[in-house]
Amino acid sequence: DAGVIQSPRHEVTEMGQEVTLRCKPISGHNSLFWYRQTMMRGLELLIYFNNNVPIDDSGMPEDRFSAKMPNASFSTLKIQPSEPRDSAVYFCASSIRVAEAFFGQGTRLTVV
Amino acid sequence: GQQLNQSPQSMFIQEGEDVSMNCTSSSIFNTWLWYKQDPGEGPVLLIALYKAGELTSNGRLTAQFGITRKDSFLNISASIPSDVGIYFCAGHRQGAQKLVFGQGTRLTINP
């Protein structure tokens, strides 16, 4: 079992650029979550999907953030345009039961 | 919204000591979970608890689901250097679509 796979592991980009983060959930898991982690705010749920359908995107901070899940094995989180305050570690997690979420290794995003 | 209060925020202990941390909430949860996050990695699920009063062990780790359903405890016995990291509690309410996470307990071990 390869676990949840995220790419890239690190991303450095200039303010105003578009950033796309990618996630491959564990095969057979029907729920997918995108989290953001910062020192100040801890782990924040941005959006989650169930059976590829976005269920709750109330955590998405602004319209600059969007997420898609075109199929059961792939999801993207896009930030356009990026801003320095978007710098954080972004985690993707998947689960069969909501309570037992398995996290990827994260993408550390730095916007300069 | 729902919040979990996790304490302590940080711990500095000597190798070999036992560790205790807890998580409390103002509302009831049906499931409690404990995660550990190593530096530069994602949180890893350690223990999941599904019944009030349940006591579950995973090696040197023991966790309990509080009888009131509003709290949970994690104990680590005979700490070793690889126990260093941030420990998160998380709660799930039946029918809810997401987990609620505590702020984390950062564990540092002096050799």
Which of B72, B98, B101, B106 is the best residue to mutate to test the A interface, defined by the most A CB atoms within 10 Å of its own CB?
Answer: B98
Partner residue opposite A98 with nearest CB, options B35, B97, B104 = B97
Q: Please state, rounded to an integer, the average pLDDT across all residues of chain B.
A: 93
Q: Please state, rounded to an integer, the average pLDDT across all residues of chain A.
A: 94
Segment holding A92, helix H or strand E: strand A88-95
- Collapse the DSSP code of B83 into the 3-class scheme (helix H, G, I; strand E, B; otherwise coil) and give the result: helix
Nearest CA in chain B to A99: B92
List the B55-58 sheet strands across, edge first. B4-7, B19-25, B71-76, B61-65, B55-58
What pLDDT is attached to residue B21? 97
Q: Determine how many CB atoms are found less than 10 A away from the CB of residue A78.
A: 15
**Interchain contact, A98 vs B41, CB within 8 Å:** no
At B15-54, the pLDDT tens digits run 999 999 999 999 999 999 999 999 999 999 999 999 999 9
Does the structure show a pLDDT above 60 at B2?
no
Which of B23, B97, B103, B105 is the best residue to mutate to test the A interface, defined by the most A CB atoms within 10 Å of its own CB?
Answer: B97
> Residue A40's pLDDT band (boundaries 50, 70, 90)?
confident
Tokens of B54: 């349940």
Tokens of B103: 């702020």
**Interchain contact, B92 vs A104, CB within 8 Å:** no
- Collapse the DSSP code of B35 into the 3-class scheme (helix H, G, I; strand E, B; otherwise coil) and give the result: strand
At A73-91, the pLDDT tens digits run 999 999 999 999 999 999 9
d(C-alpha B86, C-alpha A99), whole Å: 19
Tokens of A2: 């390869």
In 3D space, the residue among B69, B37, B38, B30 whose CA is nearest the CA of residue B53 turns out to be: B69
**Interchain contact, A50 vs B88, CB within 8 Å:** no
Cα–Cα distance list, A107 to A12, A29, B69 (Å): 10, 21, 34
What pLDDT is attached to residue A1? 62
What pLDDT is attached to residue B10? 96
